[in-house]
């Protein structure tokens, strides 16, 4: 055994595992309850219901359609307000230039405090998730995995091998990234991914806040939130290894984003370059994250349970989650790219022309 492991424990192949092209088994058992506390109602009713495929599909669809129906009402309020305050002027060709017409509730102190607390909560939650998930991966790849393989492999594992072993090694409960790690201070990916999946429902409040402030929600906003729900569901439900990318990358970006929003709530304005850099980082996370997710399909690693080499993505359910995320990220990247050009490039060009 040791002689056969003298080489690399991780390699890349030209094609994904053939099993990944089979029809997914949608009746596959859900992941084990990821929390240490036991509550029968949450464990036996809410948890399975939240991971039922109909739940994210129905909620995401209702959210997306409702937002765009409400957008029409919001925009009509803006048009009526413009006509009332500017009776002799024609409507601007670009209706996005119309001023917001906030609802009365959005002007109250209670609403403003709620929005501030909402952004602070999501900022702190994102920081907590990022630290927790990266700590788990670091612990597995730098301590548990090297210690285990030191008993059966004569040469030390490289950082590259340790990392992919920690991400892909999904058949051994003791060394599984998805399970609760033996160290009580660390949690497995099931814990972090499931909570992150739930947070995507909570983030719908971002859209509610925008609408109450009298502004239509953009296609970017509604597509982003509805798609994130479906992506996190698919990765969590079928325990697809690359979902760690969504959790780590997105929690990092959200830490910065909600920090920015929190400061805006108390009228602290950061330089324009911060917001522009944040948008650039969001686009980068989609391109790099989506590409890295696809890479998992071509990785082969040594499975310490079966004693054989196998694909990091070894079944059609895990592969489906990868494809769902990549299909979602492609138009999202284009939408963010268009937002970047519209928000920064066009304004920069207009300012340059005025100065000349």
Mean pLDDT value of segment 125-151: 85
pLDDT at 67 over 60: yes
Contact 137, 167 (CB under 8 A): yes
Q: How far apart are CA 324 and CA 326, in angstroms?
A: 6
pLDDT at 138 over 50: yes
Residue 340, pLDDT score: 85
Pull the structure tokens for residue 141. Answer: 């790849």
List the single range of 36-45, 89-98, 330-339 with lowest mean pLDDT.
89-98
pLDDT tens for residues 260-274? 999 999 998 888 888
At 5, is the pLDDT very low, low, confident or very high (cuts 50, 70, 90)? very low
Strand partners, 10: 301
Q: How far apart are CA 178 and CA 20, in angstroms?
A: 20
Query: Distance from CA of residue 260 to its chain's centroid?
Result: 18
Rg of the chain (C-alpha set): 24
Q: Which range is most confident: 81-90, 142-151, 232-241, 344-353? A: 232-241
pLDDT at 198 over 90: yes
pLDDT at 40 over 80: yes
Half-sphere CA count of 68, side-chain side, radius 13 A: 11
From the list 205, 222, 223, the residue with the least C-alpha distance to 213 is 205
Tell me what the pLDDT averaged over the chain comes to.
87
Handedness of CA 32, 37, 40, 46 (dihedral sign): negative
pLDDT at 91 over 60: yes
Q: How far apart are CA 123 and CA 181, in angstroms?
A: 25
Handedness of CA 61, 62, 65, 71 (dihedral sign): negative
From the list 7, 3, 28, 20, the residue with the least C-alpha distance to 311 is 20
Mean pLDDT value of segment 208-237: 95
Residue 352, pLDDT score: 47
């Amino acid at each position: 055994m040791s002689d056969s492991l003298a080489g690399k424990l991780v390699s890349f192949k030209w094609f994904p595992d053939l099993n990944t092209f089979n029809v997914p088994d949608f009746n596959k058992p859900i992941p084990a309850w990821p929390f240490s506390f036991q509550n029968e109602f949450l464990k036996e009713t809410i948890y399975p219901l939240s991971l039922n495929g109909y739940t994210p599909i129905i909620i995401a669809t209702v959210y997306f359609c409702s937002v765009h129906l409400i957008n029409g009402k919001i925009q009509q309020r803006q048009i009526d307000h413009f006509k009332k305050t500017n009776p002799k002027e024609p409507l601007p060709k670009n209706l996005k230039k119309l001023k917001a017409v906030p609802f009365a509730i959005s002007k109250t102190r209670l609403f403003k405090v709620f929005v501030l607390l909402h952004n602070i909560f999501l900022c702190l939650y994102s920081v907590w998730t990022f630290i927790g998930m990266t700590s788990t991966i670091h612990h597995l790849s730098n301590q548990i995995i090297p210690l285990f393989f030191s008993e059966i492999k004569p040469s030390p594992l490289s950082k590259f091998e340790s990392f992919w072993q920690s991400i892909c090694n999904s058949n051994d409960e003791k060394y599984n990234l998805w399970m609760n790690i033996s160290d009580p201070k660390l949690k497995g990916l099931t814990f972090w991914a499931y909570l992150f999946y739930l947070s995507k429902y909570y983030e719908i409040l971002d859209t509610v806040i925008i609408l109450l402030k009298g502004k239509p929600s953009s296609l970017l906003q509604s597509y982003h939130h509805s798609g994130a729900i479906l992506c996190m569901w698919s990765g969590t439900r079928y325990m697809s290894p690359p979902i760690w990318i969504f959790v780590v990358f997105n929690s990092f970006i959200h830490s910065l984003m909600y920090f920015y929003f929190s400061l805006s709530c108390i009228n602290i304005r950061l330089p324009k370059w911060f917001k522009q850099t944040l948008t650039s980082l969001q686009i980068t996370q989609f391109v790099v994250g989506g590409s890295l997710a696809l890479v998992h399909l071509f990785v082969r690693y040594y499975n310490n349970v079966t004693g054989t080499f196998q694909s990091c993505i070894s079944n059609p359910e895990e592969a489906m989650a990868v494809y769902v995320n990549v299909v979602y990220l492609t138009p999202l990247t284009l939408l963010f790219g268009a937002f970047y050009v519209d928000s920064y490039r066009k304004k920069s060009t207009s300012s340059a022309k005025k100065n000349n």
